[in-house]
Each structure stands twice: as structure tokens, then as C-alpha cells.
Structure 1
Amino acid sequence: MSNISNNSANFPDEVDIIVAGGGSAGCTLAGRLAAADPTLSILVIEAGINNKDVPNVIHPAMYLTNLIPGSQTATFHKAKKSEKLNGREAIVPIGGCLGGSSSINFMMYTRGQGIDYDDWKTEGWSGKDLLPLFRKMETFHNDHSGIDKSVHGYEGPFHVSHGGYVSKDFQEDCIRAAAEIGLKEVPDANNFTEANGIQKWPKWIHPTTGRRQDAAHALLHPILESNRTGLQVLTEHKVIKVVTSNGRATGVECIPNICVQTITPATEALANPKIIKARKYVVVSSGSLSTPCILERSGIGSKSVLDKAGIPVIAEVPGVGTNYMDHNLFLTAYDSTLKEEESFDPFLDGRRSFDAEIEAFSKPGCSNQIAWTGMDVAAKVRPNEAEIASAPESFQKLWKRDYESRPERPLMVSVMGPIHVGDHSVIPVSQYMTSAIFLSYPYGRGSIHITGPNIDDERDFDSGILSDDWDLDALVIGYKRQREIVRRTKSFAGGAESVILGPKFREGSKGSKWDYPTANGAVTQYDAEDDEAIKNFIRDNVATTWHSCGTCAMKPLEDGGVVDGKLNVYGIEGLKVADLSIMPSNISGNTYATALLVGEKAATILAEELGIQNF
């Protein structure tokens, strides 16, 4: 009998532990426990397909193909229209297959600051507490003499490297241009303290195989293919709710995911909901957009929400579905002087074949571009004194309160790549460059709630993007900062006509001029109308960074918390949450490393409670 299947009839009706969700944290949690105690029966229930050796998962360069219409590896959540976004409905893609978003993300290796985890104010979750787990998960491939090896791991299952290819001249160009405006190059912006430096950015890519380092391939699949394990994975099934009895979680109710399964008359009976029992624990690990909905359908949440949805209250936990956070992102794009071999764009406009690159990988003379993402340069950034002084008083007030005395706290993350991630069918064939900015700690908050008892009932989703005006003012600083770098690069083709995606400044304004700055470091000047043009561009284009978190926060119940420091859901025994929804506040950077961290910490907690020795 296979240990992984999309047929629930292949699995027992009762196991020790059910993990509801096979994403980054769920795979890590299940994989670590299964390896530590093969006698434990653990069932992971994943809504999406099995990702084993799926080409657009394992080959880094194919990552954007996961977002095409009809994708079997991604799901898309649509938020309500927002006036702050000029009436747009924000779309949030997440991983829709085993491995979750780790199977489709951009693979940027980013860890939060040590103080980010300190700010969670939870025993056992400080930066100092968590650093050993960060080291445990990774094998870090970088021999730069300036790197503090004590903050990285060298024997973990997840490999971190620069991948198979980088656009080296582009990297050097961006780093030189950034230095001209005072942003220094650093050997390691992920050392838990660096908050104002640019570097050649590492990726979650194996340096030899060139494969993506997703949670399923790194941890789950090797165990599933072993001869001695109690780990099993049920794919293509959605968890409807947690089943409880007398205040304790006793199992889950799940149903085949008809979005990926073809239901025929012969399999129609299997399309009915099925209850699978858990003897020891149920761990919900379905992500920040699905975990709170599972809890609410289980009768765990705010009484007002549950009453409207027609669901009896089992445990009143008002914080469920609140505190939704993301990193607000916008992109600008420019025509470049890059050569075809220096650009990722030929992958996106058809000039370079994925199949040919896969076939050629590691052969003599091969560029190994199939093991590349185009995300070659990034920085953590704090504004300089002039930028702070030019910002509105409301921005300065919060900067003084939350940032000024905390030099380890960046304002934003900046990413640059020899790529245009937009629609290539509407632009000339060329080589482009993209500059991205996202805020480290937006103040805006959203929410997600169910509206009815059925799994397909519409969700009430408010993205919260730009819901706090401070975030917009901060992004204006980000636009101006990235522009000063771009216009100093030799890669930029030059002139306003080379701006492919950016604000629409009025003709003749200072903001409309893209002349190269003078040798004394002069920067672009803007008037009030220019600032409004920048804000309008951001409102029209700001989007998710795929970093959803916070909706089942780890903090006291009276403060809106959903779980305690041991990840127990308030009011229900035997029920835990282990995914990014437990984050009480945000971290500076891409969230994959932190998702793995939550899985590692959850495994440690469960191992202790289960009495597993030498974990």
C-alpha cells in the first residue's frame, strides 16, 4: 500500500496525529516527528495534488508558470474591493499542492531579524530561542569570509545557495549604483541583525542538483519512500472542520477536492465527507487564509461571526480570523541594456525553452539557467535623514516611536532582477529589469471569516492593504529610493521612455525627468503633484507578497490571541495550530524560513509532550 494517495479508502479511519494541511510548516512538523518516532501514525491531509517531481515545482526557472490560469499548483483568494486600492480586489495566490507555497514561491532566502521574534513576547519564541532551529533546518552554501557561521546551519535538509546561474554583471551594477546613494554591500543580510545593506541574494536552491528546496521534497518524500514509517499523506482532500467531543479534538471531517479530482459515478460515494479520528492530536496547518476558516466551521471563533454563519459555538475565541497581515508590495519595470544571456525574460517570452534547459542542465557548456529565478539582488533598507525629513509628520511620529531607537529594524525590503514579471505579450521583445519594494512591518490589518457552514461558502476577506495611511507614505519613500538606484545603473536603458511600469507624472514635472544625476550625488526632486502621482501608482499596483500571516495569533486570549506558546487553541484540548497564522506581529522578509521555523518549533513541542527521547 502506498504511503501517499488521493483515495481516502487507502488509509485507516484513526491515527495518532492528523496534520490538516501539507504546506511548509505541516510538512516540516510531520517529517520531523515521523523521523524521530517511526511508530507514530501520522496522517497529513493536503487539499492539492502530490508535488513529487512535478517539473514546474522542482525546476526553479519555471516558478512563474505556477500562476497561469488553470494552475494545479496554486489557489487564488480574492479580497473585497477596497477604496484604498482605487476600488481593486486584491488577489492573494497561495500554494495549492503538497508543499504549499514552498512549492511555488520565488525561493528567496530571507530570515527575520532577531528582534522580530523577540517582539512576539512569548516564552520559548525569542530570537535567541529560535536560532538553533533556524540552524537545524539549513545547509548554508556561502564561504564569504565576512559571514558569521555561528548563525547558520550546515547539516540541515534545506539547501541555501545562489543556484545554478546568476546575472553577475547585473548584480555588480546594482550594488555599485546602490553604494552611490549610501546603501552599502553586506556579506549577509540574514544574520538576524543587519537592517541596512544590499547583497547578492541567496535562494532556496540546491547548488548541485539545481532543484527547489520545498518542504515536501526536502523532508516528506524521503520518509514516505522509506520502508519503515508511520507517516501517510492523503492528497486532493479538503479539511472541512475539526471534530470535537467534550471540549477535545477527536478528528477531522474532510472531503475530496473536486477542483483537482474528477468525480465519476464509480467514485461518487467517495465524494461524501469522511471523518478520520485522531487519538492524540489534531494540528491545523492550512495557512493564514484557511486555518481560521477551518476553526470557525468547527465552532471555534467569535460568537458574532459564528452566529451569522449558523454554526454553534464550541469555543468562543474572538481573535480567530483577525490580525491578517501581509507585506505590501509594488513593482516597477524598465527597459534595459542587458544582453539576452543576462536576462530571465527569454524564459517568459518564449525565446528560451524550459525543456531544452532541463535537458542541458549540468552538461559541459550549459548555463544552468533552469536553476535560476532572476531574483539576484536584494536589500534590507532603512531611510536616511533626508528621506525621513521629507516624509509627512504622521510618518515621522511613528518612525520615532517604533524605529529610531531600534537600528536593527528595517523599513523595507528592496529586490532587483534582470526580469519583467508582467505580461510579455503586450510589450516588445527585449531584456528588462524589475525593482520591487515591500514594507517590513505594515500597520494595516485585515481579516478573513466564513459566511456559512459549507466549505464552498464565500469568505469575507479584507486584505487590509494600505488600510493605514502610514504604509502608503512609507512606500512612497521606497519608490524614490529604488528610483535613485535604477537611474544610476548602467543596465537601465535611460530616459522616461524606458519606464515600462511606473507612476504617470505630468509632462514637464521634475518627477518626469530621468536624467542621470550629477557627480555630486544629486537626487530627483518632487513636488506635491509628483507625490500624488506616486501614491496613485501605488494604489493601482500594490499587491500581496504572498506572505499572509497572523490570523490565529499566538498571544493571550484577552488580547485577541487564538493559541498559546505551546500552539494550543484556547478552549479545546488536543488541538494545535502550526503555520504562519500564529504570528502575532510581522517579520522583515520573505516568510518561507519562518514557516519552516514554525514547523520545527511545533515538532519540538509535540515531541516533548509525546515523550519522544533524543529529539
Structure 2
Amino acid sequence: MAETRSQAPEYDYIIVGAGSAGGPLADRLSESGAASVLVLEAGGSDLHPWVRMPIGYGKAYYHKRLNWKFSTQPVEALGGRESYWPRGKVIGGSSSINAMVWARGHREDFDDWAEQANAPGWNWSEVARVYRRVEDWRGAPDQIRGQDGKVSVEPIADRMHPLCHTYLEAAEQAGIPFNPDYNGAEMNGASIYQISTKGGVRASTAAAYLRPALRRANLRLETGAHVTRVLFDGRRAVGVAYRRGGRDHVARVRGEVILAAGAIMSPAILQHSGVGAGAHLRDLGIDVVHDAPHVGQNLQDHLGADNLYRANTPTLNQELGPWWGKLRAGLRYVLTRGGPLSLSVNQGGGFVRLHDGPGRPDLQLYFSPVSYTRAPKGKRALMSPDPFPGFLMGMNPCRPTSKGHLGITSPDPMAAPEIHPNYLDTEEDRAAMVEGLHLVRKIAGSPAMAQVIEEEIAPGPAATDDATLLQYARDAAWTVFHPCGTCRMGRDAAQAVVDPRLKVHGVEGLRVADASIFPVIPSGNTNAPAIMVGEKAAEMVLEDAR
């Protein structure tokens, strides 16, 4: 049914979501000054201390004004536990509340994208070119890394906690060589993580792209604007409806609507707009514009588990636990933008192949010189760590084979979609979790690490066989906050939601550009790939408009 085109304001492009992908899109599409661009963001300002201060993500993860605070349905393989899924509801999106680890992914990940989606433009050589344009790498210069881009990426080896040196030595003793730059020529190896910060302040896409671009007269941002649906005239997108300040609004578009609302909200908006599984939408009373059963399918995420150790040497617990420690760290940050508050707690880690030979890693490792086991259930109290010296060492399998789904269950566009992650559904994923926990134990048992460990608190010395370790994973595993794939890219409309140009199959004037388009989850963190998608999508839109 055609929508009424009233006296609503009209733009060349409407971008839904000012997050990891939406920020680059808004900047690049408005850059020439020739096109008018409207950005609609459901959240509010990113000018908040828990956003700006890097370690503040421990608070932002649960802040109701900064976060959608999604929860999954109970997961059978996790003993019926729900999984808490924070997603950014703020300018900058999840780049404003994440742990800032910068990981491009492995070259084979993107060659897989190109092959599986039948989309040569997404192979590694093309993606690497875009990454170089994104990055402002503050480490040693080389031809692989970008140094004039918008997003500042900093090495932290000169600022990391001293225990990270112990971790690197222990990893090498366990057969994992040191890798000085996992975003360089080789991804595998033990590393110190690079983070998206600049001078001790978070470098979100809001700071890197959107705020500078908002000086342009042709770019408009509306916050607190919850998009309820895309408006169609026949099968062509002609605008969006959104709710702001308790009132309903309409904005029209001459060119394209681009959904950049993330792996949860982009498919939900499509479904509320009549693009989804036709029978399900009709049951909800939603008029079907295009029967697209894969909207909300192909949901992938990284699932991880931590081992907890009591140390016999000071950790960040002793720096951030006492009131005077908090005061000292706070003063240091205010005066110098330095110290532990200027970093993520995920300081050490890396990527490991479990089997001989070249290729992609099987596991991602994490070493955090802090522990917070007494935090309230479902919370990360990074500024209220355990009273004893402790640290966490964990991992997640890089390429899970279990796939879930999500979708709307109500015609109310303000209702949260229902999320079914389907963790540990395959034997491959269960085996990978057990192998990963054995590897963490191997690192902990190396001479360098053994000399600083007083005891393993969890899973504990009684957990020695595969079955016990798998049960520990079921009881304690956590999302690594990397949902993706729910608007899968592919040339075949029978198997995908968007084509390789990110245009939604079956309709016109509508694209999706965010982590939902990933055909396969990358081997590492997903924020850098999401930003890359926003940059590449802007290229495509401008090329197609010529």
C-alpha cells in the first residue's frame, strides 16, 4: 500500500543509526556538500564521562540512557540462562560503549565473504584498502596500516600492566610466539591489544566522523528518534516514520534509506516495515512489502569463557579497589589522561591456531590484570574489583558454527525483538570451547605464569576432564558482544537479505550497512569491520549515484 507523501522534510539520504557504520556513512555522504543527509539516532549524546573515559565502558554497558540493554531468550545449552547483550543506544552506537579492542580480522575471513556472497569487491585486497583509509595508526609505520584515517588506533605496550609481560612470556613458553602487530602481516600469536583511543579518550565514530561532519549545513542529526518503519510506495522506499519526544514524524527521501541500526535493530526495522518472513508478518498484522524469510536469520556471535586466578602479586584490583586507589587513578586521568582509566582491561590476548599449518586462528585469547567476581549479577564492576589480587584469562572460539535467529514478536515497533543465539548447538563449537579452556590452562601452567598464581578459583582444580570443562562453559560462558549476520549479504536473493552492493533484495531505494550484513563472523572483534562496512557502503552509494 502506498504511503501518503505529505509536507514532511525531504533529504537525498536518510541514515538510520549514528553508530559504528552510521557515523562513517554520514561523514562521507555529506562530504561534498552536494547531498542533504538526515541521520536518525534512537539514543542521545555521547558527551558522557562513561563514554569519553575508556574504562568507563564498565558503566556504559549497563547505562539505560546509553544502551539498549537487550537480553536473549533462555539458552538451552547454557543451562537455560539468558545472555545479556549490551548494544549502544547513543551517538557512536556500540563504538561508544565497547572495550575498544581494534581487530581487522583475518584476510581469509574476507576472502570467504567474497566467495560465499559471490561478491569479489569484498575480498581482502579491497577490504584492506578501506581499512587503510579508516585507520590513524599511532604505532610503527608500515605499508599495511593506515596512518591518515579518521579512527585513532593506539598501541598500549608502554602503558600496560606489568603482569602483561608475564602473560606474554607464559604464552611463549606454551608455544605461542609473540606477535607485535596482529593487524599487520600475520594475525596469529600472543599480543598486546591495540585500542581505538586518542590521547586517553575513546575514539568512537561519533568523535572520529560524526561530530566534525555536523559542522556542514547539509547534514542533520536528530537524537531520541526511534525509527518505527521504512515507508514504501509500492516496492520503493520513499522515507521513514519515527517517534521522537512522544510524537510521530515522517521524513521523505529522494535517494536512498540506509539502515545502519546494527545486527539487532536493522532486521527488526525491516520486519516492522513489511520486509521479512511473509507468513509471520501477516500473523502480526503487518502488511507484507516483500517476503524475505532470511531477515533475522544467520545470527552469529562469539561465546567466551574466563578462568579466574588468585595472584600472589598485585594486580589492578589493588589499584582500583580501595577508595584512595580510585581517587589516585581518577586524579591521574584528569590531570594527564593517563593511567588505568585511559585503557581497556582487555590488555593482553592474541590469536591462536590449535592445529599446525598456516591460516586463520581458531581461538582469540584475553588477559585482563583485574578480576571482578563479586560484581552484582549481570554487571561488570570494573571500578569495584575483587578485594584480593586476581586476574582473568579467557578465550573464545573465533569461528562458531552455531547459528541463531532474532525477530519481532509484536507489531509494536517499540517492543524489543526476541533473540535466540543458539550457542553451543554444534559438536564443533562444544569441542572448540573445551580445547580453548585446555589451552588457557596450559598457559597458566607455564613456569612464568605459575610463579604468580596462588590458586585457580574457577573452573577450579577439580575440573580436569573434557566433560567437566564443557559443563563449566555451559555454566559460565558469556557473549563477547559480537552479534552479526542477521541481514546476510549475498548475490543469491533466495539465501541473502542484501546484495553485494548492500541493496535489500526485492525492493528499491533501501540498503543495509552494518554488522548485520556479515555473511560469516570475522575471526576477531567486530567493531573495526563494522566501521569498514560503513566506509565501503558510502563508496558504493556515491558510485551508484553518478
Q: CA deviation at 1:533?
A: 1.3
CA distance 1:579–1:422, change in 2 (3 Å):
farther
The 8 Å contact of residues 345 and 420 in structure 1, kept in 2 or not, is answered as no
Q: 1:579 to 1:163 in 2, by over 3 A?
A: same
Confirm or deny that 1:343 pairs with 2:312: no
User: 2: CA distance between counterparts of 1:345 and 1:234?
Assistant: 43
- 1:189 matches 2:124: no
**For 1:234-288, what per-residue CA distance to the aligned partner results, in whole angstroms no more than 9, with x for missing partners?**
11121111000021001111113xxxxxxxxxxxxx5132111111110011111
**Worse-superposed segment, 343-352 or 174-183:** 343-352
Distance in 1, Cα, partners of 2:26 & 2:200: 25
Contact persistence 1:164–1:371 (CA under 8 A): no
> How much does 1:369 deviate?
2.8
Mapped to 2, the partners of 1:489 and 1:230 lie a distance apart of: 61
Contact 1:299-1:314 within 8 A present in 2 as well:
yes
Listed as ranges, the gaps of 5+ residues in structure 2 are 1-6, 377-383
Counterpart CA distance in 2 for 1:246 and 1:493 is: 69
Offset, 1:542: 1.4
Identity %: 29
Tell me, yes or no, if structure 1 residue 76 matches structure 2 residue 38: no
1:437 matched to 2:395: yes
Q: Report the CA distance between 1:138 and its aligned residue.
A: 0.8
Residue 59 in 1 paired to residue 15 in 2? no
Contact in 2 for aligned 1:163/1:205 (Cα 8 Å): no
Counterpart of 1:216? 206
Asked if 1:330 is matched to 2:317, the reply is: no
1:571, 1:86 → 2: CA distance?
Answer: 40
Q: Tell me what 2:332 maps to.
A: 360
Change (3 A) 1:427 1:139: closer
- 1:39-72: CA deviation from partner (whole Å, max 9, x where unpaired): 32111111111113x111111122211124x532
> Does 2:536 correspond to 1:578?
no
**One-letter amino acid matched to 1:39:** A
Partner residue of 2:366 out of 401, 412, 415: 415
1:337 is displaced (CA, Å) by: 3.0
**Partner in structure 2 of residue 124 of structure 1:** 121
**Which residue matches 2:545?**
610
Q: 1:338 to 1:555 in 2, by over 3 A?
A: same
Counterparts in 2 of 1:271 and 1:484: CA distance versus 1, 3 Å = same
* Equivalent residues of 2:370, 2:385 under 8 A apart: no
Structure 1 counterpart of 2:420, one-letter code: D
DSSP 3-state at the match of 1:233: strand
Could you report, residue by residue, the CA deviation over 1:506-551 in whole angstroms, capped at 9, with x for unpaired residues?
4xxxx5xxxxxxxxxxxxxx4xxx2211111100111211111000
Closer/same/farther in 2, CA of residues 344 and 40 from structure 1, 3 Å limit: farther
Q: Is the 8 Å Cα contact of residues 337 and 491 (structure 1) preserved in structure 2?
A: no
Give, in whole Å, the separation in 1 of the partners of 2:459 and 2:340: 32
Inter-partner Cα distance in structure 2 for 1:79 and 1:319: 19
Change (3 A) 1:22 1:540: same
CA distance, structure 2, for counterparts of residue 185 and residue 273 of structure 1 = 55
Over 3 Å counting, the alpha-carbon distance change for 1:460 and 1:77 in structure 2 is same
Post-superposition shift, 1:492? 5.8
- Corresponding letter in the other structure for 1:377: G
Q: Which amino acid aligns with 1:253?
A: A
Q: TM-score, normalised by structure 2?
A: 0.91
1:20 matches 2:16 = yes
Contact 2:173–2:447 (8 Å) recurs in 1: no
Q: Which region of structure 1 is more displaced relative to structure 2, 177-186 or 371-380? A: 371-380
Over aligned residue pairs, what C-alpha RMSD do you find?
2.3
The reply on whether 1:498 has 2:461 as its aligned counterpart is: no
Structure 1 residues 129, 468: closer, same or farther in 2, change over 3 A? same
Please show how residues 539-578 of structure 1 align to structure 2 within 5 Å.
539-578=474-513
2:156–2:192 Cα contact (<8 Å) kept? no
Q: Distance in 2 between matches of 1:504 and 1:210?
A: 37
Is 2:433 the counterpart of 1:475?
yes
**Larger Rg computed on CA atoms:** 1
Report matched runs for 1:226-375 at 5 Å.
226=215, 228-256=216-244, 270-339=245-314, 343=316, 346-347=319-320, 350-353=323-326, 357-361=329-333, 363=335, 368-375=339-346
C-alpha distance in 2, partners of 1:428/1:113?
Answer: 35
What's the offset of the Cα at 1:358? 4.9
What is aligned with 1:141? 138
The answer to whether the Cα contact below 8 Å between 2:239 and 2:253 also exists between their aligned partners in 1 is yes
Measured after TM superposition, the shift of residue 233 of structure 1 is 0.8
Q: Is the 8 A contact 1:56 1:62 kept in 2?
A: yes
CA–CA separation in structure 2 for the residues paired with 1:202 and 1:272: 43
User: For residues 189 and 451 of structure 1, what CA distance do their matches in structure 2 show?
Assistant: 41
Contact 1:310 1:452 in 2 (8 A): no
Structure-2 separation of matches of 1:65 and 1:47: 20
How much has 1:457 moved relative to structure 2? 3.6
Tell me what 2:379 maps to.
none
Amino acid at match of 1:250: V
- Counterpart position of 1:199: 191
- The separation in 2 between residues aligned to 1:450 and 1:166, in whole angstroms, is 45
- Displacement of 1:460 after TM fit? 2.8
Distance change in 2, residues 1:232/1:164 (3 Å): farther
Q: Distance in 2 between matches of 1:428 and 1:13?
A: 54
Secondary structure of 1:275 counterpart:
strand
Matching of residues 367-386 of structure 1 within 5 Å: 368-384=339-355
Q: Is the 8 A contact 2:284 2:411 kept in 1?
A: yes
Alpha carbons of structure 1 residues 338 and 229: separation in structure 2 relative to 1, 3 Å? farther
Question: What SS is found at the alignment partner of 1:553?
Answer: coil
1:328 is displaced (CA, Å) by 1.1
Q: Deviations over 1:127-186 (max 9, x none)?
A: 01111110001111222xxx7x11100111111113596335212211111111110011
CA spacing shift, 1:424–1:337, aligned 2, 3 Å: farther
Which stretch of the first structure deviates more once superposed, 547-556 or 299-308? 299-308
User: CA offsets per residue over residues 301-325 of structure 1, 9 Å max, x none?
Assistant: 1112212222121011111000000
Q: Compute the displacement of 1:487 (Å).
A: 3.0
Structure 1, unpaired ranges of 5+: 1-10, 257-269, 386-403, 512-525
What's the offset of the Cα at 1:119?
0.5
Report the alpha carbon displacement of residue 431 of structure 1 after superposing the two structures with TM: 2.7
Distance change >3 Å, CA 64–CA 243, structure 1 → 2 = same
Give, as a single letter, the amino acid of the residue that structure 2 aligns with 1:151: I
Q: 1:427 to 1:558 in 2, by over 3 A?
A: closer
Say if 1:250 and 1:278, in contact at 8 Å, map to a contact too. Answer: yes
Alignment correspondent of 2:4: none
Are 1:448 and 1:459, in contact at CA under 8 Å, matched by a contact in 2? yes
Provide the C-alpha distance between the structure 1 equivalents of 2:503 and 2:181, rounded to a whole number of angstroms.
Answer: 35
Matches within 5 A, 1:507-526: 511=463, 526=464
**Structure 1 pair 367–453 and aligned structure 2 pair: CA distance change class (3 A):** closer
Q: Distance in 1 between matches of 2:447 and 2:468?
A: 24
Which residue identity does 1:179 align to in structure 2?
E
How big is the shift at 1:421? Answer: 4.3
SS in 1 for 2:313: coil
Matches of 1:299 and 1:505, distance apart in 2: 54
User: 1:457/1:428 Cα in 2 relative to 1: closer, same or farther (>3 Å)?
Assistant: closer
* Contact 2:180/2:191 (8 A) holds in 1: yes
Which residue type is aligned with residue 498 of structure 1?
E
Query: How far off is 1:505 after superposition?
Result: 5.4
Once residues 114 and 82 of structure 1 are traced to their aligned partners in structure 2, the CA distance between those partners, rounded to angstroms, is: 32
Instruction: Give yes or no for contact 1:556–1:562 (8 Å, CA) kept in 2.
Output: no
> What is the SS of the residue equivalent to 1:498?
strand
CA distance in 2, matches of 1:555, 1:44: 26
